[in-house]
Structure 1
Amino acid sequence: MPGKPPTRTPKAVEVEPGSATSGPPRDTDSEVAVVINGVNKHFGSVHALQGLNARIRYGRLTGLVGPDGAGKTTLMRILTGLLAPNSGHAVVAGFDVVDDNNAIHVATGYMPQRFGLYEDLSVMENMRLYAQLRGMDADRNADLFAELLDFTRLAPFTERLAGKLSGGMKQKLGLACALMARPAVLLLDEPGVGVDPVSRQDLWRMVQALTDEGMAVVWSTAYLDEAERCDSVLLLNEGQLAYDGPPGELTARLTNRSFRLEQVGDQRRAVLAEALDLESVSDGVIQGAGVRVVLRAHAGTEQIAAFAGRADAQLRAVPARFEDAFIDLLGGGPGGTSALAEGLSPVELASDVAVSCRDLTKRFGDFTATDTVSFEVRKGEIFGLLGPNGAGKSTTFKMLCGLLKPTSGEAHVVGLDLRRATGAAKGQLGYMAQKFSLYGLLSVRQNLEFSAGVYGLEGAARQARIEEMVDIFGLQPWLSAAPDSLPLGYKQRLALACAVMHRPPVLFLDEPTSGVDPITRREFWTHINGLARKGVTVMVTTHFMDEAEYCDRVAMLYRARLIALDTPDALKRGAVSDTRPDPTMEDAFIHLVEAEDLADEARSGAAA
């Protein structure tokens, strides 16, 4: 695979090894691929980066993490020469990002958040175009194309339009284009967002091969399990470097501070809400039938032990995770009370079944997107729909929301047949689409007013509900802004506000936290858990496997078919092995996909 090209000797840039509190780096080590020396960047009055000092080495995978607005993408763009710092210096592969801008474009490969692909061109046409943009003769690089296609496993799909690829395949094509010029430094801006665990596993395989050959790879991510696998991590917060070092060293600070409240069963949402409001608790999440909590430094275990006794739960110490350390370093997660749910009356339905489908099938020509899918979702249940990209999750969602007509089969929402009472059924549900689907030509207030009007809210009640949403989600400073100008976390808040404007008893969430930082995701799930406690039924798709733990049950789709339906804990138990005694939800996901692949091979062999 492409390796490290010749680079010139770095300029005399001062590099000091590192911590977040050290001064400018002082080094001319040939193993240092990137030197960041006192970099500042501001946009008007907004300080995106403030006095940043760091270095990145060849042959290592460096994670770039931080909350939304921390400065991650700004730093990426400076390192690729797309932005110039207002002060300070950055040197990449021996080239100054300002003085040697043209050379920087050759020395770096950059994969932006939205891939940068031309969706109306085929895989091969995209690769040829990127070669030409790099000043390469595409006709003379057939061997390189073949090598990249083999490396990314895209060789069978060269004629497929990029717009028709799954999220994982788009990701691989974006990587192939970024590697076109054999860069010394590869910059990946949130490559795992919206991509399933199997595709992310493929990306890890490819990136590991690149670092083994000496390439420096910077991986910006909102998935902290990804950061945990990096050799080192740069953690940004409000434009400043909060931590620089191996993820394990930060995690070690939380030794004896992570615990699991077990055997809380159906009360886990109430237990989590109460635990998060304890003074001694820094963070907490649901894990299957239990609740995981992290204590504040020097808090002691007395309060949480007493709480466990009141909750009739067993308290067990568990190893800390990098995500625990990340949240704790930034001051802890949100509390356990949802203002959105607090003002909601308990949901009353005529039946305990809120959503159901039977033999639901959707075909697009010869392609079957969803194949005879059947399940029921109970009132007040959080029901997860998981599966690889292209498995049929969004298609199933759209049929259950009345946005897409099934080819065959039937679906009901709160007892209403979606074939015969589509309009009435839509009035009983809220829908939060992938990437939020806000109206870009309308302001934030106009988006709220439009949603209120669509759902039939009128007069004083309409205005009161809009003001309530503004207050709950902190939208007041953004009311005149266009949604596209909002930070990602506020886009998510606005999308949720629009979806729950009419107080629906059923809520559909299609990858609602994709790309959002962990603290914002915690806040979002505080609202969802609160709504479920009031009897709201929630259906959710997600690629964050830790979020699947919040679900009461999970349905797994693969190749348009339902291959598993059970609780998160039961699915994890099915993935237990000698080498994996305590599997995660990601392990369970990959196990189910691999088992289905083996079953398909066996069926094909028997048929032959």
Structure 2
Amino acid sequence: MTENLITIDAHEVVKTFIDPEGKKFSAVDHVSLEARAGELTALVGPDGAGKTTFLRMVVGLLRPDAGQLGVLGIDVREDPQAVQDRVSYMPQRFGLYEDLSVQENLDLYADLHGVAQDVRQERFSRLLEMTDLARFTARPAGKLSGGMKQKLGLACTLVRSPDLLVLDEPSVGVDPLSRRDLWKIVENLVENEKLSVIVSTAYMDEAERCENVFVMNSGRILAHGAPSLLRQQARGLTYLATPVPPMPARQLQARLLDARDQIIDAVPDGGSVRFIRQPDTTSGQIAALLADAPYEERLPDFEDAFMMLLQQHREAANDATHTAPTPPLTEPAREKPPEAGPVISVKNLVRKFGDFTAVASTSFEVRRGEIFGLLGPNGAGKTTTFRMLCGLLPATSGQLEVAGVNLRTARATARAHIGYVAQKFALYGNLTVKANLEFFGGAYGLRGKILKNRITDTLEEFELDPSSISGILPAGYKQRLAMATGLLHRPEILFLDEPTSGIDPLARRAFWRMITALSERGVTIIITTHFMEEAEYCDRIAIQDAGRLLALGTPEEVRRQAGQKDINSAFIAIVEQARARPAAHEQVP
């Protein structure tokens, strides 16, 4: 392939669907783009932007309704099978067979793709070495961690040698170490094997690794180019503000986000807050807004440009659907009760599954109104800990109290004080938004006029259409609905299990603005997340791996423990140091 060869050539491509009400809408609306051979190309955009629909047309799974789409020089509309024979596609939920071993999954996909027997062994060996799965060939896929499943999915996608690799959000739901390893593999394929790759991603730092980025929203391309070029659009508008203790960074962020006529975006970063001002905002207005917080100008990054482009498009289209949901206001703000003791107390908590110890002698406390983050790699034991705290899983041993109730002896009583949003959003996809709220409200014991009023208020507060079918909502709106169901009964403690997995930065900002408001009202928040930037919103965080507690403290204390400036690097350093210690011990005679 020559450097100038175009692998994807799209011109005015349109794909239209019909919503449940019978109305047509364009998921992809006159999209034109080119992806060059031997390069890494990214599609970024909010939920519902059209990224997945476009990629499914690229690989021949959907037929464009209008426009021209050439892939590897082939007209996809005329010959989708010819494209599928030369393209490998890894969708968001790659279809591993969980009862089959790692090797059996590789064999199966090699059979499906007609890979010749004489090349399989060499190819399998290379893929297993590349993904660091050679030691696990006999392990069932269902018993792999989330990151290992993603790497096996990529290996199965590559059992044949494609001319184009298409990845739809490949790192959603995996921890920073697994995400780093996955991207090392992808970059190695591009650099050393000159493979052409197009990827959609919700992570702006991943988009920044790509040679060419296309920013999508509402089915359209807003801008494209090298990340270094796109970020210049925010030059002169980006700043770093430092809150003066005891003000937490999230509180300063909330103040900035609420000044929507002056501020485009704000997000915590290493104890400070990165923000973007509106182009027409004056230095005097910024100084007045940050009278009690020193600030300085900083160089823009790609995420700044992304947020600016979305803001401009939203204003131009007057698209209210992307407005941050307003924190619940119908309940009168209540004062935080006096600190009589922790609202959650964990002492020597252990959970075993047969001979396997998922959580080993873990102890910590959570204060009322605190935002407490449980972090760890896939398979670290944090979800098991989380489920024990919610009363969904009994502990093997140890002491566990929630809202003053012993969870080992009175789980039902404790659960009355708890709201829970599951990792996969336990919604009923065939029911409307309103029907889901009615069901969950009834499950929490709400009845009659109280339930009706709560639902009315919730629909307004979360900007939800009561007649929408929940199963076809974009991920960001499913998240809003899941949050709404968990808050209907106004719990003292809210448990959130990776609630922002797979959603874009815009939706994450809206989510955390709401969480900050809940915390200020005295609601205690326990959250697991793989977005390390979100750890900066927490009052304290705990990092687990292999069932052990590795770090516990404020984000600043954890960064200091690891000797790192940002929480992502601190997380990786703490986990890698802990994993190296047993290995070093084993080498001692």
Give me the TM-score of the superposition, normalised by structure 2: 0.93
Kindly indicate whether residue 73 of structure 2 is the aligned counterpart of residue 84 of structure 1.
no
In structure 2, the residue matched to 1:401 is 390
Is the counterpart of residue 110 in structure 1 residue 84 in structure 2? no
Of the candidates 301, 321, 329, which is equivalent to residue 321 of structure 1?
301
The aligned residue for residue 326 of structure 2 is: 338
**Secondary structure of 2:558 counterpart:** helix
- 2:38 and 2:55 map into 1 onto residues whose CA distance is 18
> What corresponds to 1:296 in structure 2?
278
Superposition deviation, residue 444 in structure 1: 2.3
- How far apart, CA to CA, are the structure 1 residues paired with 2:413 and 2:352? 25
Q: Hey, what does 1:503 align to over in structure 2?
A: 490
Secondary structure of 2:85's match?
helix
Aligned to 1:422: 411
Alignment match of 2:114 (pick from 135, 138, 162) = 135
Q: Aligned to 2:510, what secondary structure does the other structure show?
A: helix
Preserved CA contact (<8 Å) 1:167 1:194: yes
Question: Counterpart of 2:505?
Answer: 518
Instruction: Return the alpha-carbon distance in structure 1 between the equivalents of residues 278 and 333 of structure 2.
Output: 34
Residues 36-435 of structure 1 aligned to structure 2 (within 5 Å): 36-44=10-18, 45-138=24-117, 141-212=120-191, 213-268=193-248, 269-278=250-259, 279-309=261-291, 312-331=292-311, 338-340=326-328, 343-346=331-334, 347-348=336-337, 351-435=340-424
Q: CA deviation at 1:589?
A: 1.1
| Cα distance in structure 2, aligned partners of 1:185 and 1:592 | 37
Alpha-carbon distance, 1:517 to partner? 1.3
Structure 1 partner of 2:438: 449
Letter in 1 for 2:422: A
The equivalent of 1:548 in structure 2 is 535
TM-score, reference length from structure 1: 0.90
Cα distance 1:336–1:589, how it changes in 2: closer, same or farther (>3 A)?
A: same
Cα separation, partners in 2 of 1:289 and 1:344, compared to 1, 3 Å: farther
Question: What is the distance in 2 between the residues matched to 1:46 and 1:257?
Answer: 35
Deviation at 1:576, TM superposition (A): 4.0
Are the aligned partners of 2:348 and 2:399 in contact in 1 as well (CA < 8 Å)?
A: yes
* SS across alignment from 2:428: coil
Deviation, 1:152, is 1.3
Distance 1:265 1:31, change over 3 A: farther
How big is the shift at 1:399?
Answer: 0.1
- Residues 67-98 of structure 1 show CA distances to partners (whole Å, capped at 9, x for unaligned) of 11111001110110111111122222222212
Native 8 Å contact 1:58 1:211 kept in 2: no
- What value does the CA root-mean-square deviation take over the aligned residues? 2.0
TM-superposition CA deviations, 1:141-196 (whole Å, max 9, x none): 22222221122111111122222211111101110111122011111100111000
Check conservation: 1:287, 1:550, Cα contact below 8 A. no
Secondary structure of the equivalent of 1:525?
helix
Q: Which moved more, 1:445-454 or 1:272-281?
A: 272-281
Please give the per-residue CA displacement for 1:286-315, whole angstroms capped at 9, x wherever unaligned.
Answer: 234332221012323221112222xx2111
Listed as ranges, the matches of 1:468-483 within 5 Å are 468-476=457-465, 479-483=466-470
Q: Distance in 2 between matches of 1:124 and 1:367?
A: 24
Of 488, 493, 501, the match for 2:480: 493
Amino acid at match of 2:574: L
Instruction: Look up the equivalent residue of 1:50 and give its one-letter code.
Output: D
Of the structure 1 ranges 486-495 and 399-408, higher mean CA displacement relative to structure 2 is found in 486-495
Identity of aligned residues (%): 47
SS in 2 for 1:209: helix
> Any gaps of 5 or more consecutive residues in structure 2?
19-23, 315-321
- The answer for the alignment partner of 2:317 in structure 1 is none
Moved more, 568-577 or 60-69: 568-577
Q: Provide the C-alpha distance between the structure 2 equivalents of 1:256 and 1:481, rounded to a whole number of angstroms.
A: 42
**Structure 1 runs not aligned, ≥5 long:** 5-27, 578-582
8 Å contact 1:341–1:527 — kept in the other structure? no
Aligned length: 572
Superposition deviation, residue 344 in structure 1: 4.4
Preserved CA contact (<8 Å) 1:556 1:564:
yes
Q: Classify 1:456/1:55 alpha carbon distance in 2 versus 1 (closer, same or farther; 3 Å).
A: same
Residue type of the alignment partner of 1:101: P
Q: Secondary structure at the match of 1:319?
A: coil
1:54 deviates by 1.1
Structure 1 pair 576–59 and aligned structure 2 pair: CA distance change class (3 A): farther
Match of 1:15?
none
Cα offset, 1:341, TM superposition: 5.0
Residue 258 of structure 1 and its aligned partner are, at CA, apart by: 1.5
Q: Distance in 1 between matches of 2:439 and 2:117?
A: 49
SS at match of 1:267: coil
